[in-house]
Amino acid sequence: MNFYVLTLFPQILHGALGHSITKRAQDSGLISINCIDIRDFSGNKHRRVDDYPYGGGAGLVMRPEPVYDSYMSIKDRLSPSTKVIFMSPTGRKFSQKEAEQLAKEDDLVLICGHYEGIDQRVIDEIVTDEISIGDYILTGGEIAAVVVIDAISRLVPGVLGAPESLMFESFTDNLLEYPQYTRPQEFRGRAVPDVLMSGHHKEIEKWRAQKSLEVTILKRPDLQ
């Protein structure tokens, strides 16, 4: 799977996604993360990509031409149906179900805004989807893009070593994951539940299903 990220700060993506599972996935060719620096298309020696908003107001707005030109620089690598996603607080809320759907794509383009946003005309021209990772404001879209790429990448076949790892995770079937335990068997007077030591797989599955339900009702009743 190929990610193309239009950004003012490629180093944020490289730093956050250049470790652990996403690094191994890149090294093995299962995913690629291609950062396109919007400033390279600024058209001026100062690499400036922003200007004051029409109508007045605080802050600056990213001009449409650099964003559009950075997208056009990769368009020939994409199919006509490739999704172009703008990371925006006005977008629909990102979810595990959305990640699962996007993981089926061959290519994705993510656009990271800054300042007071991006000129609406380029959004209207090239963006197919707008996504938000939560009801709060970040200084830029890069961190949101990292979240989206990480969530999608781990769903690409082969990225996680054990496929069954995906079957029992939080938000599968709208349930949070059950509690997990490892050695030592007792820690500060707290013992691993007996059922997990029993070796009875059906009882363990039953316990985990019950705990998933309990945890969800307690911590995220909105999921039910």
Residue 83's CATH number: 3.40.1280.10
Q: Is 29 a member of any domain?
A: yes
Select from 123, 153, 183 the last residue of a domain: 153
Question: Do the strands 186-187 and 129-132 form a parallel or antiparallel pair, or are they unpaired?
Answer: unpaired
> Are residues 52 and 140 part of one domain?
yes
Domain boundaries, position 121? 2-153
pTM of the model: 0.91
Select from 93, 128, 153 the last residue of a domain: 153
CA dist 104 and 91 (Å) reads: 20
Residue 99: name the closest of 112, 111, 86, 108 by CA: 108
> Are residues 174 and 82 part of one domain?
no
CB 52 within 8 A of CB 60: yes
CB 111 within 8 A of CB 141: yes
Q: For each of the chain's 224 residues, which pLDDT tens digit applies?
A: 999 999 999 999 999 999 999 999 999 999 999 999 999 999 999 999 999 999 999 999 999 999 999 999 999 999 999 999 999 999 999 999 999 999 999 999 999 999 999 999 999 999 999 999 999 999 999 999 999 999 999 999 999 976 666 666 667 678 999 999 999 999 999 999 999 999 999 999 999 999 999 999 999 999 98
> Are residues 176 and 137 part of one domain?
no
CA dist 18 and 26 (Å) reads: 8
Q: Is 160 a member of any domain?
A: no
> Are residues 121 and 28 part of one domain?
yes
Tell me the torsion sign for CA atoms 35, 1, 158, 202.
Answer: positive
> Are residues 123 and 35 part of one domain?
yes
Residue 86 sits at φ, ψ, to 5 deg, of -100, 120
- Quick one: DSSP state of residue 179? P
CB 114 within 8 A of CB 159: no
> Are residues 19 and 112 part of one domain?
yes
CB 46 within 8 A of CB 100: no
3-state secondary structure 74-121: CHHHCCCCCEEEEEEEEEEECCHHHHHHHCCCCEEEEEECECCCECHH
CB 177 within 8 A of CB 170: yes
